[in-house]
Amino acid sequence: MAARRIAQSSINWAALAERVPPNQKANLAAFKSMSDKYLRSVLVNPETPPKIDWAFYQKNVPIAGMVEKFQKAYEALQIPYPVDTLTSQIEGQEKQVREEIATFIKDSENRIADYQKHVAALKALLPFDQMTMEDYRDSFPEHAMDPINRPTFWPHSPEDQYTDAPEEKAHH
């Protein structure tokens, strides 16, 4: 597998900087600096190694067989390009995250619609400072005091009320 030559960074640094929180800007700048330094060090070297003039060395090296031995070893040398085993995992994680984001957006839009309905219902009510107790009871029957059907004892807080239900017993 042949390696492709890196010509420039494929990272959109401006878009990334927009998403980084202010307290992490220094870390992003340090990372960008290291990335640029690495890219410069790669671009300094030629894409292919220079060709060796083996005939020149055979004429000038007095030890017999030494140049042939080095030439065989040099031509037999194969430096493997690392196999990419992580791109598929990253793409799978990206797909999963995109699905989670889409689900979150859909759920958020549903919550927003429910909240807007609730706000519209509250805006349709009389202002609280103009309501009578009867208006409040009609608008919020579950919260209003109902001395006939649900009598309460003073101070009318839920924890101070008597109930007929037996208390839960701890299981040992």
pLDDT tens digits for range 95-143: 999 999 999 999 999 999 999 999 999 999 999 899 998 898 888 888 8
pLDDT value, residue 91: 94
CB 137 within 8 A of CB 144: yes
Going by pLDDT thresholds of 50, 70 and 90, the confidence category of residue 2 is: very low
The token duo for 97 is 């995250």
Going by pLDDT thresholds of 50, 70 and 90, the confidence category of residue 4 is: low
The token duo for 89 is 């995992």
pLDDT tens digits for range 39-75: 888 888 887 888 889 899 888 888 888 989 999 998 8
Domain spans of the chain, in order of start: 9-45, 51-76, 91-148
CA 6 distance to own-chain centroid: 26
pLDDT value, residue 72: 92
